[in-house]
Structure 1
Amino acid sequence: MSRVSLQNPIASLEQLAETPSRKDGISEQLEDDLRSFGCELIQSAGILLNLPQVAMATAQVLFQRFFYLASLKDFGIIEIGMGALFLSAKVEESFVRMTYLITVYDHLLRRIQQQSTHTPLDAFSQRAYSLKSMVTTSEMQILKRLGFNVHVQLPYGTMINYLRILGLEEHDTVPKKAWNYLNDALRTHVYTNYTMPTIACGAIWLACRDQQVKLPTTPGGEWWLLFDAQPSEFQNVAAHIQRLYHRKLDRQQLLSHLSDTEATLRNS
């Protein structure tokens, strides 16, 4: 009898070296930009829908996992983002009405395309019907590609426990900074490439470095030894997070990708 691990699945070296999108000729830079932008849209939609952070985070992790098993040439970030958010709301027991979901995504899509004036989505229009169809189809695609393994372990609780052990739980700025770094990390691939202790240590290390807080050295060695983490790995996590703040998205490339979704909606 097979068992489902409660640990997050980690992408293999082969998947990291050559994703389905890169096999289809999509550059690494464009793939990273599309993944990041897709997660940003999930977060924006979740906020507008008043969903808890755990549901938005779960959706972003599922979104990232999906594109290690499918190509951006075959699936768009809008439909997979909607499907991931709709699915994660069920997984995290945070019900969201599909009508609200497609209305929010329609609003975000039109805003991206800089349509300054547009009428709200008519729930009985062909466009609404097409968006609903996208949600149900993409939800099933996610379940199929992930083998119905939609368990997502998040590092927030782990990080709080580590801060408590390090005596930083009540610090004025470090916990909030580290929490924000965990949220920003969702727009990168670290949640599919590293363990939760490593991600938590990366956020803590980056927050302490920013705030010039010296991490304690334990009698038995360095602080990270308490949490079974390696400096090379959690510093890589921190580097991926920092890259977000220095990267400029290619708007034209993103709009070109989104235009495929828009064309599907118009022609359906």
Structure 2
Amino acid sequence: MAHKILYPLASLGQIKETPSRADGLSQELEDDLRAYGCKIIQQAGLLLRQKQVAMATAQILFQRFWYVTSMTQFGISDVGMGALYLASKLEECPVRMRDLINVFDLLLSRARHGLSSTSSTSEFEYTPMTYFSSTFYDLKEALVISEMQILKRLGFNVQAQLPYGTMVNYLRLLGLDEHPDAAQKAWGYLNDALQTPVYALYPIPTIACAAILLTTRTLSLPLPAGWYLLFDAELEDMMSICGMIMRLYRDRPESERARWVRLAVGGKREVRKWLSENVRSDVQGDR
């Protein structure tokens, strides 16, 4: 019971129908927007020289948030910004608010340029905001509101446990720790899994076992039958996690990429507009 308190997971009802899917978004599009938001968090964290633990915590909080809130209510980039700001404080590596806002403005400006008709003929040039720019204050307000809403809607339960140490211990128990590529490859799968909802759906031991399963399949390494039972993991859950991770690597048409970038950059209004034009008309308008 204590484990569940420290590491909350989505309920069965939230998994079957998230708030965004209830509002008309398909599961595929929601997953794409989740993944893109996590990429923005990672890019911003790298530019800010944040610790990996802070970026990972931010992505986990970001994923949890969408199990209690619809993407028609808050923007992808706003929540990503708020999650990284909150995580930097939780992991004791706080970032300056202005620095965070500047970095997100840079990333969003670059994404908008990629969507423009002139992106193929002109290089992206970023013009920094002026000190008293209205854009800065708009982003600042969005940041403060997003951080507050993450805390409120997650019930201030913002603890995030990471599986890296657990995975390394499992590799040692299985005799794979001395393999030159096993640990690095499994570590990479755990990083990629942050772009998926698995950290909000499955306990840490199961996620670590899934990364090991993918690694051994990729590197053709043998494992004893039923090895995962030693770590209280279920094969069905592991295969589900593996499927979510492998989904990230499939080829996608450029039109699909442009769609989720546009929706993520445009915020909740763009999501509502897209829904009204493509899915259903009754989700248009502010709540």
TM-score by length of 2: 0.85
1:257, distance to aligned residue in structure 2 (A): 4.4
Is 2:7–2:160's contact at 8 Å kept on the other side of the alignment?
yes
Give the aligned residue type for 2:248. Answer: L
- 1: CA distance between counterparts of 2:79 and 2:102? 16
| Gap runs ≥5 in structure 2 | 115-123, 271-287
Q: How many residues align?
A: 258
- Confirm or deny: 8 A CA contact 2:167 2:208 kept in the other structure: yes
CA distance in 1, matches of 2:235, 2:4: 26
- One-letter amino acid matched to 1:243: R
Shift of 1:235: 1.6
Q: Secondary structure at the match of 2:14?
A: helix
* Equivalent residues in 2 for 1:174-213, closer than 5 Å: 174-213=182-221
Q: Counterpart of 2:233?
A: 229
* Map of 1:243 onto structure 2: 247
- Residue type of the partner of 2:249? Y
Q: In the alignment, is the contact (CA less than 8 A) between 2:77 and 2:264 conserved in 1?
A: no
Report the equivalent of 2:279. Answer: none
Letter in 1 for 2:15: L
Tell me how large the CA RMSD over aligned residues is.
1.9
SS in 1 for 2:41: helix
Q: Answer yes or no: is 1:167 the counterpart of 2:171.
A: no
**Alignment match, 1:96:** 95
Whether the 8 Å contact between 1:6 and 1:151 is mirrored in structure 2 is no
Is the contact made by 2:102 and 2:129 (CA closer than 8 Å) also made in structure 1? yes
In structure 1, stretches of 5+ residues that fail to align are 264-268
- CA distance in 2 between partners of 1:262 and 1:231 (Å): 41
The one of the two structures with greater contact order (alpha-carbon pairs below 8 A, sep at least 6) is 2
Are the aligned partners of 1:59 and 1:88 in contact in 2 as well (CA < 8 Å)? yes
Match of 1:254 among 243, 255, 261: 261
TM value normalised by structure 1: 0.91
Question: Compared with structure 1, are the counterparts of its residues 28 and 261 closer, same or farther at alpha carbon in structure 2 (3 Å cutoff)?
Answer: closer
Distance in structure 1 (CA, Å) of the matches to 2:21 and 2:137: 32
Q: Deviations over 1:100-128 (max 9, x none)?
A: 10111001001111262231122331111
Range that drifts further, 48-57 or 22-31: 22-31
Superposed displacement of residue 17, structure 1 = 1.2
Residue in structure 1 matched with residue 136 of structure 2 by the alignment: 128
What code does the residue aligned with 1:135 have? Answer: L
Query: 2:153 aligns to what?
Result: 145
Deviation string, structure 1 residues 20-78 (Cα, Å, up to 9, x no partner): 11111112121111111001110111111111111111000100110100000011111
Please list the CA deviations of residues 75-101 of structure 1 after superposition, one character each: whole Å capped at 9, or x if unmatched.
Answer: 111100000000000111111111110
Amino acid at match of 2:92: E
Q: Equivalent residues in 2 for 1:6-85 (5 A)? A: 6-85=5-84
